[in-house]
Chain A
Amino acid sequence: MARKIGTVTEARPSPELVGLTRPEYDEIVRRLGRGPNPLELQLFGVMWSEHCGYKHSRQTLALLPAEGPRLVEGPGENAGVIDIGDGWAVAFKMESHNHPSAVDPYNGAATGVGGIIRDVLSMGARPIALLDSLRFGPLSDPRARAQAGGVVGGIAGYGNCVGVPTVGGELHTDSGYRGNPLVNVACLGIVRRDRLARARAAGAGNPVVYAGARTGRDGIGGAAFASEELDERSQREDRAAVQLGDPFAGKLLIEATLEALATGRVVAIQDMGAAGLTCATSEMAARGGLGMTIDLDAVPLREASMRPDEILRSESQERMLLVVRRGYEQEVRAIFHRWGLEAAVIGTVVAEPELRIRWRGKTVAALPPYALAESPAYRPAACEPIGLTERWAFDSPAQPRTDVADALQQLLRSADVASKRAVFRQYDHSVQVRTVVAPGAADAAVLRILESPPKGLALAVDGNGRYCAVDPYRGARLVVAEAAAGLACVGAEPLGVTDCLNFGNPEDPEVFWTFRQAVLGIADACRALRIPVVGGNVSFYNESPDGPVPPTPVVAMVGLIDDVERTCTTAFKEAGSVVALLGGGHPTLAGSLFIRELHGEARGRPEDVDFDTHGRVLTVVRDGVARGWLLSAHDCSDGGIAVALAECVMAGDLGADVTLPEAGRPDAALFGEAPSRIVVSLTEQNLPELIHLAAAHDVPMCILGRTCGDRLLITVAGQRVIDTPIHELAEAHDALTEVFS
């Protein structure tokens, strides 16, 4: 027998209007034992959206490894947590803010930063670093430029004010992102292990405290908006679904929350992000197997006239929900008030597992929290995209490129390779006095751990839509391998990964197959490296009228350095030092940046990574850095060894004269790509030690030449094919400065 809730029982509402299907509606009826009232159905609409519910991805994500000796919290909490020793842990997570950034680049990106900071803060951790991974259409297009400028401005605007340094990131362009840019932001925080906070409600009778900024009419239905494809209409009509950030309030929230948690009076905490109050109340209650009674009249509002569905679904930023030990609510509220924030008791934890929402003296919704929080999980149909394997076939262009020096400059000018200095200088990357290796200076950012010296943390973020479009499984493995190589180049041992999986519509079997292959690739790679995936985010429906975005799994990897004084950067340091290549591999033009930039095709299957070899190469690099033998270390990735060498030369403003080991055609030798290849430099004195170390790990090592002068000289098969002054390389490499000025 259906219960009547409040006054809002009407004719059977339409599930489609809230983004749900008829079978999902039937499932709601089954779970409730009655039909939902219109308000309740709206709550299901946001909680069962793809963005909140992970309906299409949950079963696949279970394939990712989530175990390890250092793992403290895996997926399921607001951020993953890894032990770093001496009683400290790091919390980290990455999230997408693609759709909001497409419609409103500045605010979309800014609130992406704010949201991920609050996820880390919810674990009780002080946020100490941000990284971002960005994808746009070709920057020759004015619209892509405007998006890129707005997104970078938004990240800077929020991150700089809130006082969390942006220490690294990546930026790539491809025509596939033209209608749907990707904005992924990762945050890392540090927390004392015994101060770790969680989002599990406990203790019937404990007050539920709302803290932070007031609730307004912005971002309503943002989670549902993130779960639809973008079209022409979005640009005009979805602006109200974009949240507006206030970094000052974000800063206040960080300080007040950490102070409140330090009292030991907070039982549970979660940020109010996607699906706002609905999500925070139902998830916290569901995790604790309890219920909550929430009084909407106690919620601090910007506009008194807000309706219950607006209050419950608002995604206004800079808000937290806390369960506080009974009797201490005034103490906790006083802390938030002292920081100039709202803090109000809006409800109570109850033993009966029911989320009861009251408004103006009446119950307007009453639902089992689990019914909302645990959306149905689907196993969508998957099928290999037609024509995929045909794209694997690759014949090198018949005519070897002879003007390879021009080709090198063209690659340096491409957005994928060009210096990101014009972006990074807009980000405060030195606040908090932890940044030891600044963004762009090495293959990973390095922070010192002030709480536990002399240790350091290394952070790398990588993605490669070009590889994944051709082979999502292999592409995803290569992405993880590259992040690990980046960490090794600064001397760090990997601890764990968070990922952001950006794909099109999962109900398209080809898209879903691609997604699943990418997840399998990440899973296998992380198992091989023996590191957990501590959590992350899936962003589906990244489609525009042009079709889905290239499959773009992005990983952020965190590593530990025993002694932060022993780290390394890309730049060549001393004239007359030895330049060597660690790791051999079989560089190929298949799937390479060279083929895309110079031949205009995304074709050919990239060389796979062998994780046994990769692991041994990285061990030699890491040990070489840790023992202080290496003066520089840099991974060969986009554009092959020629681009890597050019980057070492430009960063150090010191030339080199090298001979490549490959005997074949110069374009393949210079620009061919393969994993597990690291360019290092070292003094003559340390050379025997490194040779010995490489031999001990059965790692191929090839001496390429010496650093000298102010030109890059490269010889292939007895011919000097590159002879370019550094300033000419640097000029090409600086192409983005004009774009971002």
Chain B
Amino acid sequence: MRFGVVVFPGSNCDRDCVHALRTVLGQDVAELWHGDDSIRGVDCVVLPGGFAYGDYLRAGAIAATAPVMEAVGRFARAGGAVIGICNGFQILLEAGLLPGAMIRNASLQFRCRDVWMRVESTQTPFTAGLRVGQVLQMPIAHGEGNYYAPPSVFDALEQHGQIVFRYCDPTGAVTADANPNGAARGIAGIRSAQGNVVGVMPHPERASEAILGSTDGRLLFQSAIDSLAGLRGVTVGA
């Protein structure tokens, strides 16, 4: 099982993702340079957080046109497992690999704090090992995490079970108070129709060791490892 972590020049969670996957989970990890047009045969692509090209324009807008994203797009359309975390999620939206858009947090400020999110869909490699309703704790750190989409997209997302995570309180209740950025319908993460592409605003790599306050983030990576190794029966790219 080989993960590829994409390194944009302004990625700043790339090293954290490599740490979680390589050091904590013992996986083989390749660092994929933004200017290359290949993902070098990896089994799973991680788009990490950060400010890919500074994000002075809309977050992720320039990154979506990077050479490496062509390769990621081909891989995704062929059913390959891709997860975009924070800025990575924004890039997936801008690249059209996931529907909708991010606007600025309702507070108009950056927010860094622990949140809870409820698993809504297990039809992805990253959640196949979890159960619907499971509550995960991990940090957010973003200024543009306020998910938005036209009503028709929301309907489709709901209808096809493409909402993967919603912000909730520690008991799992989805409330306005538990929503840190104003995201519509409490959305913290979504998936593609096929389920192989996932975007999530909170940072699983920052919640993969007990010393950091939570190990819930590790569950997403472990799920991907198990699913892709065929241990759990998720149909990828069906």
Contacts and interface: CB of A to CB of B under 8 A. Distances in A.
The judgment on whether A and B are partners is yes
Contacts of A435: 212
B10 A160 contact: no
B212 A436 contact: yes
Contact of A448 (B16, B139, B211): B211
B9 A430 contact: no
B20 to A, nearest CB: 7
B109 interface: yes
Interface string B85-114: 000000000000000000000010111110
Given A163-B50, A565-B211, A741-B107, A429 B112 contact: yes
B53 interface: yes
A425 interface: yes
Contact of B212 (A339, A430, A741): A430
Interface in A247-270: 247-249, 251-252, 255
Contacts of B19: 433, 450
B124 to A, nearest CB: 24
B79 interface: no
Interface residues of B, number: 31
Contacts, number: 83
A428 interface: yes
A248 B53 contact: yes
Nearest to B180: A425
A385 interface: no
Given A161-B54, A251-B10, A430 B211 contact: no
B206 A430 contact: yes
B12 A430 contact: no
A248 B63 CA distance: 13
Contacts of A20: none
A425 B20 contact: no
Contacts of A741: 107, 109
A490 B113 CA distance: 21
Contacts of A436: 211-212
Contacts of B165: none
Given A248-B10, A252-B9, A436-B211, A426 B110 contact: yes
B78 to A, nearest CB: 29
A156 interface: yes
B232 interface: no
Given A160-B141, A433-B16, A247 B51 contact: yes
Nearest to B141: A428
B112 A426 contact: yes
Nearest to A431: B12
B110 A428 contact: yes
B13 interface: yes
6 contacts: A156-B109, A248-B10, A251-B10, A426-B111, A428-B141, A430-B206
Interface of A: 153, 156, 160-163, 246-249, 251-252, 255, 339-340, 424-433, 435-436, 448, 450, 564-565, 741
Given A161-B54, A252-B9, A425-B113, 17 more contacts: A160-B141, A248-B9, A248-B51, A248-B53, A248-B54, A248-B55, A252-B10, A425-B112, A426-B110, A428-B110, A429-B112, A433-B16, A433-B20, A433-B206, A433-B208, A436-B212, A741-B109
Interface of B: 9-10, 12-13, 15-16, 19-20, 49-51, 53-56, 107, 109-113, 139, 141, 143, 203, 205-206, 208-209, 211-212
